[in-house]
Amino acid sequence: MICILILVCMVMAEDLQCLKTIALMGGYRGQVSISSQALGNRLGTSAQTASRRLISLEKQMLITRSVRQDGQYVTITKQGEESLRSEYSDFCRIFEEKKGHFTLEGVLIDGLGEGAYYVSIPGYADQFIRLLNFKPFPGTLNIRLNPTGIETRKKLDSYEWIKIEGFQADERTFGGARCLPCTIGDYECAIIIPGRSHYPEDIIELISPVHIREELHLHSKDIIKVEVRFND
């Protein structure tokens, strides 16, 4: 059993190294032409081994591949991006002592109304209660960040987020997400980013145990400040 676990860990490490190499070759920014030979040279292995790594990553939905007459094209998926982001956060926690106080400022905007449904699903709600220590109000708060807020939001990616696992229910698959505790005034909240989200970089979505709009008498286009603190 121990040997099997070691082998599995080695395969996972090799896949992650391959994913990182693809990102460095341009796959993180979009579709890139990559031959198995070129990838093998980068990894210090054979083209056949590199090809197996690509197949493995594709099966895990960490990349997408398309083969054309002029070659093979690879793109890192949102799920692959999350894997790289998680690895990056791990190294930041190893080499850096993360402390700080960040302010994200933007204007309140109307959402699509889907938040109430998703945060109320038991598979999500139970994890929020266990990991965030509160039961979310059935709805989300959507904020469009100003330019400074966008840059601050990007910096937060190097910190540790709380992982919400995906699950299956009612013959449907619900994707994972990540959360980051924060506050608006004296009210507890959490930024939530769905793993399959294609939100613009200037939008953040928050959950809270209370109906913040009512509590703070907020209206669309009101200016909101979100505070994120680490080890204060």
- Whether the per-residue pLDDT at 146 is higher than 90: the answer is yes
Asked if residue 209 and residue 156 are part of one domain, the reply reads yes
Query: Domain containing 132 — which CATH number?
Result: 2.40.30.30
Residue 220 to residue 109: CA distance in whole angstroms: 5
Rounded mean pLDDT, 218-231: 92
- Average pLDDT, stretch 51-75? 88
* Residue 196's pLDDT band (cuts 50, 70, 90): low
pLDDT at 171: 83
User: Could you list the residue range(s) of the whole structural domain that residue 187 is in?
Assistant: 99-230
Average pLDDT on 50-78 reads 88
pLDDT digits (tens, 9 = 90+) for 27-44: 777 888 888 898 889 888
| Pairwise CA distance, residues 58 & 43, whole Å | 17
**CB hemisphere CA count around 163 (13 angstroms):** 9
Split into its structural domains, the chain has a count of: 2
Domain membership of residue 127 (yes or no) is yes
Q: Read off φ and ψ for residue 216, nearest 5 degrees.
A: -105, 5
Please tell me whether residues 171 and 207 are part of one structural domain: yes
Residues 6+ apart with CB under 8 A from 185: 216
Domain match, 121 and 18 both: no
On whether both 125 and 224 belong to a single domain, the answer is: yes
At 200-215, the pLDDT tens digits run 789 999 999 999 999 9
Domain boundary residue among 49, 81, 113? 81
The proportion of the chain whose per-residue pLDDT surpasses 70, expressed as a percent, equals: 88
| H or E stretch covering 139 | none
pLDDT digits (tens, 9 = 90+) for 2-15: 333 333 344 477 88
Residues 55 and 109 in one domain: no
| pTM given for the model | 0.61
Both 48 and 120 in one domain: the answer is no
Residues 8-26 have a mean pLDDT of: 77
Q: What is the mean pLDDT of residues 19-34?
A: 85
